[in-house]
Structure 1
Amino acid sequence: MNLFSEIRSLVLDALTQMQAEGALPGDLSFDNVAVEPPRDAAHGDMATNAAMVLAKPARMKPRDIAEALAAKLAADARITSAEVAGPGFLNMRLAPVVWQSVLAAVLQGGTDFGKSAMGQGQKINVEYVSANPTGPLHVGHTRGAVFGDALAGLLDYAGYDVTREYYINDGGAQVDVLARSVYLRYLEAHGEAVEFPDGTYPGEYLVEVGQALKEKVGDAYVGKDEQFWLAEIREYATEAMMDLIRADLAQLGVVMDRFFSEKSLYGTGRIEEALASLDAKGLIYEGVLEPPKGKKPEDWEPREQTLFKSTEHGDDVDRPVKKSDGSWTYFAPDIAYHYDKVTRGYDALIDVFGADHGGYVKRMKAAVSALSEGQVSLDIKLCQLVKLWKNGEPFKMSKRAGNFVTLRDVVDQVGPDVTRFVMLTRKNDAPLDFDFDKVLEQSRENPVFYVQYAHARVMSVLRRAAEAGVAADDATLTGADLSKISHEAELTVARKLAEWPRLVEIAARTNEPHRIAFYLYELAGDFHALWNRGNELHELRFLQDGDVATSQSKIALARAVSVVISAGLGILGVTPVQEMR
């Protein structure tokens, strides 16, 4: 049940009637007609822009359209008033029975209430985390992991067929550095004193890997040049790091559907195949790039390279895919990887990158546009930095990691649910402060506590109802006399519940899962306000002594709140609590 869609349909029916009566031209498009909450709740329950968007094509005054439309709408039993405001906005107030019907729909649908068919089963690939397999995930990866996983959950809830994918960056020089670092730990396991040169990975997380390598191969690599062990240790170390990364993700409740190895692109003809696809479209050529803007590097010289004509697909400059020495640029395997995704039949692609990848956005969008001939969209979401605080000071690095704070450091401090929710309390492209003390506070200033507390309060109502002998199972509550829900504080909660299906579609359409967290906080606020009013007014308490029917109607409202909170937290990958401790 999407109440906003239903009222929009009512508006469109009224406009169609006006066309049939000659009050509006018959060739108008209603595509831009919207029904949404008014900016100021005091103006009504819903507002439509119909008169404003139709005035110019209809060559009529907005107020004339709005007044005629208001008269049509007022005839519907669901509309108690339709008032024209300003130059032609139309504000509507809905009858209480409409909001009461929302509660019944929530209870009947359970956590499926708000699920959408908007996606129509379209296949979407969401790639996120994709950290270099050189160590444990750090706090920056944590934000990307939470954002990507919540986005995947949101799209799934909105009716898309979602694949969660991790791109293993195991084709570059950093994996050789990992192998050399593991070799040093391997020698250390054999009792040798070692030093870690600059650029290697000194973190303690490699101690166990070096020890395990010793147990596997004994002293076979001791004293040998790297030509004898580099390839084998690189493969061994990469798999060990991926095991570590999978375990880190599991700590956060993240499970990938697919892992894709960059290394699988090299020497297999897959890069060549992707570039051949672009070449067939006339988008690959030999040329010389202009010098970089600003101060020219001293070592810069014009060199002929193989270039991708990315400017034909919205990029600022064409991009090299092969260097003058014949080796691939970093961009070439990325093109091949996205070509692989396109050929797998996805309708849309989403990449979740760190903020330092901003310069890659246009070139990757251009590549996917060219590879798919504009048929597959690519949305790239950049996650800004996370600043960690504890006791009023920046949180220091992890001893285990060596030079950064790990995902496990964060989860061990506050748990996966708090970590996930807090990471979504800011839009992905805004910096985030993560204060270990504040995220555990039991106050309204802590969003995760505030939302969880609302759910726990509902659970306490259900327990008290059971103790009082009041039947409060969902089947009974669905059949309760919801006409008893009539106080403005109660209807305010019902109105917020009615926004849920619309909010899901907006969040999915914009790929913005933080909207779910924001909505849950607002819903919790309305519910807590109702709870507090019940402390003042006996008529608003959920359990009414001696009046089972009224109690069940009040409990139905509370239960509907917990259902939607559970659904929202489920999208975010957070478990709703039964009671606060």
Structure 2
Amino acid sequence: MSDRKTLHAAFAAKVDAVLAALEAEGALPAGISRANVAVEPPRDASHGDLATNAAMVLAKHAATNPRALAEKIVEHLQRDAEIESAEIAGPGFINMRLDDAAWRRELGAIAQLGSDYGRSTLGQGQRVNIEYVSANPTGPMHMGHCRGAVVGDALAALLEFAGHAVTREYYVNDAGGQVDVLARSVHLRYREALGEDIGTIPEGLYPGDYLKPVGEALATEFGDTYRDQPEAEWLALFRERAVAAMMGLIREDLALLGIHHDVFSSEAELQRAGKPEAAEAWLRQHDLVYDGLLEAPKGKTLEDWEAVELPLFRSTRFGDDQDRPIRKSDGKWTYFGADLAYHMQKAETADALIDIWGADHAGTVKRIKAAVAALSEDQSEEGGQPIPFDVKLVQMVQLLRGGQPVKMSKRSGTFVTLADVVREVGKDVVRFTMLTRKPEAQMDFDFAKVVEASKDNPVFYVQYAHARISSTLRKGAAENIEPSAAAVERLGSEELSLIKQAAQFPRVVEAAAQAREAHRIAFFLYDLAAAFHAYWNLGNDDPSKRFIVAQDAELTAARLFLAAQIGQVVRNGLALLGVEAVEEM
């Protein structure tokens, strides 16, 4: 990666140099933290190109008022040839207008950095474990899993681009009762493969046709060995084979979305390794687990509720409405008990944890965060600081076709498969659409609308911008005119507005990474595409505003250079979302 600074980074460095100079002059005390000093575009673009809160943040340390410190900062900033003006606003904010040449030079930075434009060292190599998807291994992926899968994968790419060391993890829930049900369902299909008429699938078993190949494979391998054997003879074997087959299906479905995990952690292996017992022992040692009577569920009376002594986590200490069991009455681990041990395991090799969960898990967030905070204190090298742990809740997606709910898939029996959707509309449409709203907001996925060629369809609008750029560059090449930075000074106010929009990308990346919100990249790309299309449309009425201007090869080369760099920024953003930047549409 080139060491050339992007515009925002360069001007942040300029402000920092001014503050260092003020320290040297004695106007600021030496050694005070500048971590909270920001240099970013003002909310209102009419106020200038960049603004800084430096005076507001540091005035107290300088034993002065913000406006007085701002005056000293402005005095230094005004000496910089690249800063056209620096003015104090309100109680002490400083607004700066940059020389046009600074924006034109940013095109050179984009060209030089290429696919690294926007890449950041913000994360400083912090190890972040992102767990996402983690669908039960009982069948193929369905659209209920899709949004979380895309949100997690895009967030992983974003954090890597922002300088973190990311591990993408999938937690395989292969130790619960649902995998025993899976094994029984497969045994039924195994008997069917042996020629038995199994009739209607009994209530409680998985009915989907996707289990037929698993049963057939077992019949081929074992013949009728297990057809009439008691469950104890075949349950463990069929469970193992069924889970392996389902994880194969899940990996194939995820691959259709371009998603590949680094680690697949098994709940069964976790339990065999004694991780839950270790977690319980640590919690008991710190008086966070005790043996007590579980309260009756709401709506239950004393007559139909039998109080049982269970090991309970003191989740009420952390705001929960009751303490939660980590084991069941039969001694087996509750989902919560196994889950907290799993998070303890992840904390051993990460500096921060992020989980992507469905919104139906909202009720467990507080208690699992409390447990992770307690458990991870022991993992911290700083001594007592819990590992940062963030849970992103993702709302379900409602599938529609022309405004009407989509019927279930015959193959699955109970849901619409992800594979069916991806094969119909394409990976890029699915991925981008999943990021066009905040994850916590409800989403409708209408098959008709997501492939619509209109401004109202963000997927089309952004890809069309890139396709237009690619077409324009091809037309320029056909006329023997290549993009050139030699005459960028001929780019005027409309072009500068477009450059300013594209130049937001590096700071958007950092802000999105800090907030753990990959959808901000999709929002940015839509705004950039809108700005590009608006500029393009100027040429519809005025030929002199077109990218390729007849009889003016110099201006054409400069505008093609502009177009090429806008295309680069679009590609960089789409790459973070796992979406292809198409060359033509």
1:81 partner SS: strand
Are residues 1:445 and 2:432 paired?
A: no
Coordinate RMSD, CA, aligned: 2.3
Task: Give the equivalent residue in structure 2 for 1:251.
Answer: 256
Describe how 1:495-510 pairs up with structure 2 within 5 A. 495-510=500-515
1:522 partner SS: helix
**Distance in 2 between residues matched to 1:333 and 1:42, nearest whole Å:** 55
Task: Give the equivalent residue in structure 2 for 1:215.
Answer: 220
Deviation at 1:312, TM superposition (A): 5.5
Instruction: Assess, with a 3 A threshold, how the Cα gap between structure 1 residues 228 and 19 changes in structure 2: closer, same or farther.
Output: closer
**Distance in 1 between residues matched to 2:23 and 2:278, nearest whole Å:** 55
Contact residue 292 and residue 311 of structure 2 kept, 8 A? yes
Task: Give the equivalent residue in structure 2 for 1:47.
Answer: 51
Instruction: Please say which of residues 460-469 and 178-187 is displaced more in the overlay.
Output: 178-187
Are residues 1:11 and 2:15 paired?
A: yes
**Distance in 1 between residues matched to 2:303 and 2:545, nearest whole Å:** 75
Task: Give the equivalent residue in structure 1 for 2:331.
Answer: 326
Contact residue 426 and residue 432 of structure 1 kept, 8 A? yes
Amino acid aligned to 1:562:
G
1:322 partner SS: coil
Describe how 1:275-286 pairs up with structure 2 within 5 A. 275-286=280-291
Deviation at 1:212, TM superposition (A): 2.4
Contact residue 417 and residue 575 of structure 1 kept, 8 A? yes
**Distance in 1 between residues matched to 2:487 and 2:120, nearest whole Å:** 28
Deviation at 1:513, TM superposition (A): 0.4
Task: Give the equivalent residue in structure 1 for 2:165.
Answer: 161
Are residues 1:460 and 2:471 paired?
A: yes
Task: Give the equivalent residue in structure 1 for 2:150.
Answer: 146
**Distance in 2 between residues matched to 1:28 and 1:121, nearest whole Å:** 25
Equivalent residue for 1:422, pick from 433, 451, 454: 433
Instruction: Please say which of residues 540-549 and 313-322 is displaced more in the overlay.
Output: 313-322
Deviation at 1:33, TM superposition (A): 2.4
Describe how 1:476-495 pairs up with structure 2 within 5 A. 477=484, 479-485=485-491, 487-495=492-500
Deviation at 1:227, TM superposition (A): 2.4
Instruction: Assess, with a 3 A threshold, how the Cα gap between structure 1 residues 37 and 465 changes in structure 2: closer, same or farther.
Output: same
Are residues 1:89 and 2:100 paired?
A: no
Instruction: Assess, with a 3 A threshold, how the Cα gap between structure 1 residues 305 and 391 changes in structure 2: closer, same or farther.
Output: same
Deviation at 1:310, TM superposition (A): 4.3
Contact residue 142 and residue 415 of structure 2 kept, 8 A? yes
**Distance in 2 between residues matched to 1:490 and 1:140, nearest whole Å:** 43
**Distance in 2 between residues matched to 1:234 and 1:143, nearest whole Å:** 28
Amino acid aligned to 2:17:
D
**Distance in 2 between residues matched to 1:276 and 1:202, nearest whole Å:** 41
**Distance in 2 between residues matched to 1:226 and 1:27, nearest whole Å:** 71
Amino acid aligned to 1:484:
R
Are residues 1:517 and 2:522 paired?
A: yes
Describe how 1:117-516 pairs up with structure 2 within 5 A. 117-189=121-193, 190-290=195-295, 299-310=304-315, 317-343=322-348, 345-373=349-377, 374-472=385-483, 477=484, 479-485=485-491, 487-516=492-521
Deviation at 1:254, TM superposition (A): 0.8
**Distance in 1 between residues matched to 2:309 and 2:215, nearest whole Å:** 44
Compute the TM-score of the two structures, normalised by the length of structure 1: 0.93
2:548 partner SS: coil
Contact residue 6 and residue 109 of structure 2 kept, 8 A? no
1:266 partner SS: helix
Instruction: Assess, with a 3 A threshold, how the Cα gap between structure 1 residues 32 and 463 changes in structure 2: closer, same or farther.
Output: same
Contact residue 314 and residue 366 of structure 1 kept, 8 A? no
1:77 partner SS: coil
**Distance in 1 between residues matched to 2:98 and 2:59, nearest whole Å:** 25
Contact residue 131 and residue 168 of structure 1 kept, 8 A? yes
Q: Could you give the per-residue CA deviations for residues 508-536 of structure 1, whole angstroms, max 9, x where no partner exists?
A: 11111000100111111111111111333
**Distance in 2 between residues matched to 1:429 and 1:508, nearest whole Å:** 17
Q: How many pairs are equivalent? A: 573
Q: Could you give the per-residue CA deviations for residues 291-336 of structure 1, whole angstroms, max 9, x where no partner exists?
A: 5578768644443222234455676654322234433222222122
Q: Could you give the per-residue CA deviations for residues 371-427 of structure 1, whole angstroms, max 9, x where no partner exists?
A: 221342111111111011112211111111111111112112210010000000011
Q: Could you give the per-residue CA deviations for residues 130-150 of structure 1, whole angstroms, max 9, x where no partner exists?
A: 001111111110111111111
2:326 partner SS: strand
**Distance in 2 between residues matched to 1:522 and 1:93, nearest whole Å:** 22
Equivalent residue for 1:79, pick from 80, 83, 86: 83
Task: Give the equivalent residue in structure 1 for 2:120.
Answer: 116
**Distance in 1 between residues matched to 2:301 and 2:419, nearest whole Å:** 43
Deviation at 1:26, TM superposition (A): 6.2
